[in-house]
Amino acid sequence: MNPDQNSNTGNVFGMIGLGTMGRSLLLNIADSGFAVAGYDKDTLKVDALKQEGAPYQVEGFASLPDFVNSLKKPRAIMMLVPAGPIVDSVVEEVLPLLDQGDILIDGGNSHFTDTTRRDTALEAKGFHFFGMGISGGEEGARRGPSMMPGGDIEAYEIVRPILEAVAARVNNEPCVTYIGPGAAGHFVKMVHNGIEYGLMQLIAETYEILRKGLQMDNASIHRLFAQWNEGRLQSYLLEITRDIFAFKEPGTESFLIDDIYDVARSKGTGKWTSQVAMDLELPVPTIDVAVAMRDLSKYKELRVKADALYTVEQPNRFATERRDKTLQYLEQAFYFSMITTYAQGMHLLAKASAAYGYQLQLDQIAKIWRGGCIIRAAFLEDIYTAYQQNKELPHLLLDPYIKGLVQETAPGMREVVAAAALSGVATPAFAATLSYFDNFRNGSMPSNLIQAQRDFFGAHTYEVIGREGIFVHSAWLPDALD
């Protein structure tokens, strides 16, 4: 086709970047009956698309002009390439081939500030652009992800039928909705990933208690996670963790989990969540600790030396003869921490919505997270209900029903954190979560002392009870003695 093609002909959706995610999502769209095209500089990836897409209306291109010319106008093109400068280079390369009114979608994990910059620049040039977070991994992309589009609502409405057709569905409702203006979509995906970091760290600490505190083997841990996943802890992350503890490489007798090096990597989205939370002066300590523990895991050599140097004299407080009771406490502790981790993330979304003008609807975000995404869990139904009933709910932990769940599980949380501390078993995310809760419910924190100290050494002033908003300074040092 040539650039003067009839606007009513051609493929209705294009994908730049045919790696695992891009190819899987494009095939998902084709599955739903849409004619699609994919482009990649790597001809092997183009060939893979053609082979897998043979039964569908799929075209693959290694020529960018040919790819662009194959698309129906206004063209709708998604980029699924690594975040950062690569996105900018793709935009720079494809823009001269487009017409004003065409749509560019960044479906990667871009930092929300980059999305804001691109949105402003492309709008000024007459192009539609929006950033869209996509969660669900390879399987989700192929079978139904959760998608978080934000930015140009006119552009979203054009591609909405396609996105709704391929999204995961819960109660026959698609797990995609317009998130808000600007970089709202990528911001929400970033917080999604921060919550993911927190939940993964909590599961890892649960594993640490099970193997070191209760001396349970992999098969027993597998059975426990399978049992928990049938109840209120049901979630995608617990589901895959269950399967990990049953997995052996073909032809081997050992569990693969025991052969994996204990150094955790990351792509930065958890760190971004912590950074922006600090910028907004809002605490998300469970996420912060999860990021910190991934960083600490990278210092393997130092950890091994310290392991040989220090010994823990305290007895193991996770008594194996009371295993059933301990496991009951641990289930409560995990549920308590899951609730609080989601609460921290939703609080951050509310604060960012006000600060950045994102107009976020927290009930709708919880709704689309119920299926397809990595943090999908049964508990998201409760979050959805809480914000449906009170769209102005300032914090999830203030919801009456959630309050009941927290009060029910708090005793187990305290038992687990105390036993871990006394046994020398590291549970930093559990401990940080409990401390967050105890200060959140603390109507009189010791922060008055901090303000007094700041004023003493730096004359930073303080507020006085009953005179809020009026800042005063005291002369803490007495006059020099005679």
Q: What are the catalytic residues?
A: 189, 196
Residues 370/363, Cβ–Cβ less than 8 Å: no
Round to whole Å and give the CA distance between 279 and 290.
18
Round to whole Å and give the CA distance between 219 and 322.
19
Round to whole Å and give the CA distance between 364 and 355.
19
Q: Are strands 58-61 and 36-39 parallel, antiparallel or unpaired?
A: parallel
Spatial CA neighbour of 111 closest among 173, 30, 189: 189
Residues 45/23, Cβ–Cβ less than 8 Å: yes
Residues 127/10, Cβ–Cβ less than 8 Å: no
Round to whole Å and give the CA distance between 368 and 272.
22
Round to whole Å and give the CA distance between 414 and 430.
9
Q: Are strands 76-79 and 103-106 parallel, antiparallel or unpaired?
A: parallel
Residues 170/147, Cβ–Cβ less than 8 Å: no
The three-state secondary structure class of 255 is strand
**For tokens 């039964």, what's the residue?**
55
174 preceded by a cis bond (ω within 30 of 0): no
The three-state secondary structure class of 61 is strand
Q: Output the CA angle 165-167-168, nearest 5 degrees.
A: 125
